[in-house]
Amino acid sequence: MNEDYLNNELMLPPLKPHQNPSDLWWVAFDKQQSDMIEDAFTKGNTTMTWKYRLDTELTQNFDFGQMLYGGKYYLRRVVLDTDLAVQPWLFKDDYDNYIPMDEHLSATLSIALRNNYGGITLACPVQKSFDFDTMTQLTLCTQRKREIVAVPVQEKKPDIFLKFDDVPDKFQCPLAQDGTLMHNPVMAADGKIYEKEMILRWFASGKRTSPFTKKELPTLRLYPAVEKNADIQDWINAQEWEQDMAKETAQKLDDDDSSDGNEDANETEEIRLAKRKQHALAAEFRLAIGMSSPTNAGSSSTDVGNSSKNKKKKRKYRKVARDK
């Protein structure tokens, strides 16, 4: 690897539109600063704090969409060994052929696309502006525009796009066939709607044809499917409303069942207390009239005989008392 590319570099003075970046003076950052810049660029950060002159902290602003440092100095990204393993992006030449870009440029573009920069302007070897919305590159010194094809960046779908069952076919990507909603629908030149990641994979595999007609497409440019995306959002809102209503209904039924159960429990307890009160009153009544308890009432004939003897004894005692 060339020694000039070991560090991210700062170009002085700022580049003018008609100038070639290779004709100007580039100054390399030290290794620590270079690693910090690469980390910030990879993670999509726009500000960074580092030590300046040993003990002074300095906050620097980076515009990675324009590859600018401090608002006026251009940056040139370090070449990494990992860049060599990246699948190349493509650009369309004057003969309508799609030519692979070099790995380092492809890796830089993939990082910018993954971090949703919307585009990026690079100053080496010639200054070019890449627009990810229109998928075009513009050479600033000649104003020449070319079509580009991105390497698909794997995106994790938000959970809201994965939680629904029975998704209508019109809201699913025909290439994915996974039963989930399209997250980023785009229209290809065949007029069909695809998930952006899936159609980019189709193109990146070397195919230049429509997945439906198998005919060669006049362009690989993709267009945002605005209406389809709006329809998907409306469908999501309707599904969430239905789910919320179903939850509210289920909760209401649960509350009603719980209330009925509590009423039954309270009624049973009241009956139980009333029965206890009735038993207590009956016991007091029996004691008041000299009756035996329910457990002893109507026990045996012997008890009845004993009761008659007791009555005779009482009459005998009364007679004796009168005589005296």
Q: How many residues does the chain have?
A: 324
Residue 299: inside a domain: no
pLDDT band for position 177 (50/70/90)?
confident
Residue 305: inside a domain: no
Q: What angle is formed at CA 63 by the lines to CA 61 and CA 67, rounded to 5 degrees?
A: 125
pLDDT score, position 215: 92
CA-to-CA dists, residue 132 to 65, 89, 114, 147, 291, angstroms:
11, 12, 11, 11, 103
Tell me the mean pLDDT in the region 180-188: 89
Least confident among 10-24, 59-73, 138-152, 248-262: 10-24
Q: What is the dihedral of CA 21, 24, 29, 35, to 10 degrees?
A: 10
Which of 220, 239, 258 is where one domain is finished? 239
pLDDT band for position 146 (50/70/90)?
very high
Mean pLDDT, rounded, of the chain: 74
Residue 310: inside a domain: no
Which pairing describes strands 193-195 and 185-187: parallel, antiparallel, or unpaired?
A: antiparallel
Secondary structure (3-state) at 145: strand
Residue 278: inside a domain: no
Nearest-angstrom CA–CA distance, 123 and 69: 13
Least confident among 88-102, 126-140, 245-259: 245-259
Residue 247: inside a domain: no
Q: Are 109 and 72 contained in the same domain?
A: yes
Domain that holds residue 193: 159-239
pLDDT in tens, 32-49: 778 888 888 888 887 777
Q: Are 87 and 24 contained in the same domain?
A: yes
Q: What is the DSSP letter of 271?
A: H
Q: Are 206 and 85 contained in the same domain?
A: no
CA-to-CA dists, residue 241 to 43, 231, 234, angstroms:
36, 15, 11
Q: Per mean pLDDT, which of 10-19, 57-66, 188-197, 274-283 is the most reliable?
A: 188-197
Q: Which two three-digit tokens encode residue 193? A: 């709607």
Q: Are 219 and 164 contained in the same domain?
A: yes
Least confident among 198-207, 228-237, 303-312: 303-312
Residue 261: inside a domain: no
Residue 105: inside a domain: yes
Q: Are 129 and 226 contained in the same domain?
A: no
Q: Which CATH number is 216's domain given? A: 3.30.40.10
pLDDT in tens, 298-311: 444 444 444 555 55
Which of 239, 257, 291 is where one domain is finished? 239
**For residues 46 and 64, is the Cβ–Cβ distance under 8 A?**
yes
Contacts for 61-64 with beta carbons within 8 Å, 24 or more apart? 62/37, 64/40, 64/112, 64/115, 64/117, 64/120
Q: What values do phi and psi take at 197, rounded to 5?
A: -60, -40
Q: How many domains does the chain divide into?
A: 2
